[in-house]
Amino acid sequence: MKIPLKYVLRNFKTRKLTTIITVSGIALVVMVFTAVLMMAYGIQKTLVSTGSPDNVKVVRKSAQGEISSIIDGETQNVIRTLPHIAKSSQGGEMISYEPVVVITLDILSGGMSNITVRGVSPTAFELRPQIKVIEGRNFTFGSRELIVGESIAKKFKGAQVGESIKVAGDYWKIVGRFTTEGSGFDSEVWCDGLQLVSAFNRGSSVSTITLKLDDANNFQAFKKAFESDRRLEQFEAKTEQKYFEEQSEILAGFIRILGIFITIIFSFGAVIGATITMYAAVANRTVEVGTLRALGFKRRSILSAFLLESLIIALIGGAVGLILSSFLSFFSISTINWNSWSELEFSFALSPDIVVSSLIFSILMGFVGGFLPSVRAARLKIVDALRAG
């Protein structure tokens, strides 16, 4: 015979305090676990949304980031001749030659941090239509003017419209603020690429090249033409989305590994709490267990009932932890992107995979914490259990 679920649920009322404490402990651990996964996923989501599937990013092989990549003028001319490059509204190739540098600014709350300054070509805004100037105006090509991402404007001193910041020993005026609604570009400053390479005495060299394909399905054909040109052996072409996804892997991976390690340490406390709760349940219901066995319930039914009770407690704790951690989606934080060594703002992000992983983690804690007490309950002898009353 199987023990009714009603019997399992009824027992929660008799141990309200210990059950609430155990649920709270599991909820706290699951909240930390979920927050870590949300942070890592938020970084990935922010950087992946930075790229477009029909844009191609060309960088020097083995460059860890855009700031460590260099593409000379001769190589730029070769890339311009490749097939499947879309035409701009002006009739030229949709290519943006982009020098990328890092400068230091003071944070409003104190301290300093690095920010990315990206020089672009006039076609950059056709390449990336998600760029929207929400305050002031766009910079004028040929002048030393800047537009700042909204994350930079709200965090750094002197990074507001009308202010000037120092770039390569000269002061450049901020004439606009832009948004991409959450991508990595919101943590950058943009300007005329030719002015930026001139300010840093880079000649005609840029960091990366971004171009738009005439059709996203032609990427493999473009890549084949790219790789077959011996003059481009030191460079590689990737879709912009893929490039920024790879840029997120190191930082997101580190956060995930460190966070899970800390969470596992915390989980020992939650498992111990679940174990104590279930051992107490077994001790308080010894006579009940003996009665159930006398009525014909098998050992495996007793074990299943107590184990199910532990799993339900864990699942409730996991659900509470998930609900609490979901509120983190309303918050944004900043960190240093290890590939660019500059500021990156991102939001916590929850996904179905994270929900499933968190619930599985909570159930695992409930199983580990409840297994031994359940075995003890199942192994109680009928006579000994009844005598205990």
Taking residue 386's Cβ as centre, other Cβ atoms within 10 Å add up to 16
Cα 336 to Cα 289: distance, rounded to the nearest angstrom: 57
How do residues 178-196 score in pLDDT, each as one tens digit?
A: 999 889 999 999 999 999 9
Stronger pLDDT, 11 or 308, i.e. the higher one: 308
Cα 153 to Cα 175: distance, rounded to the nearest angstrom: 12
How do residues 306-360 score in pLDDT, each as one tens digit?
A: 788 888 889 999 999 999 999 999 988 888 777 777 788 889 999 999 999 999 9
Confidence at residue 6, expressed as pLDDT on a 0 to 100 scale: 65
- Mean predicted confidence (pLDDT) in 361-374: 88
Confidence at residue 178, expressed as pLDDT on a 0 to 100 scale: 97
How do residues 106-122 score in pLDDT, each as one tens digit?
A: 999 888 999 999 999 99
Q: Taking 60 as the threshold, does the pLDDT of residue 100 lie above it?
A: yes
In b/e form, how buried is each residue of 238-272, taking b as 16+ CB within 10 angstroms? bbbbebbbebbeebbeebbeebbeebeebbeebbe
Strand duo 170-179 + 164-167: pairing: antiparallel
Confidence at residue 248, expressed as pLDDT on a 0 to 100 scale: 84
Residue that is written with structure tokens 């929850």 in the block: 350
Task: Give the mean pLDDT of the chain.
Answer: 88
How do residues 41-51 score in pLDDT, each as one tens digit?
A: 999 899 888 88
Q: How confident is the model at residue 232 (pLDDT cuts 50, 70, 90)?
A: very high
Query: How many CA atoms does the CB half-sphere of 327 hold within 13 Å?
Result: 6
Confidence at residue 90, expressed as pLDDT on a 0 to 100 scale: 82
How do residues 115-154 score in pLDDT, each as one tens digit?
A: 999 999 999 999 999 999 999 999 999 999 999 999 999 9
Confidence at residue 4, expressed as pLDDT on a 0 to 100 scale: 56
Q: Taking 90 as the threshold, does the pLDDT of residue 166 lie above it?
A: yes
Q: How confident is the model at residue 101 (pLDDT cuts 50, 70, 90)?
A: very high
Cα 215 to Cα 94: distance, rounded to the nearest angstrom: 12
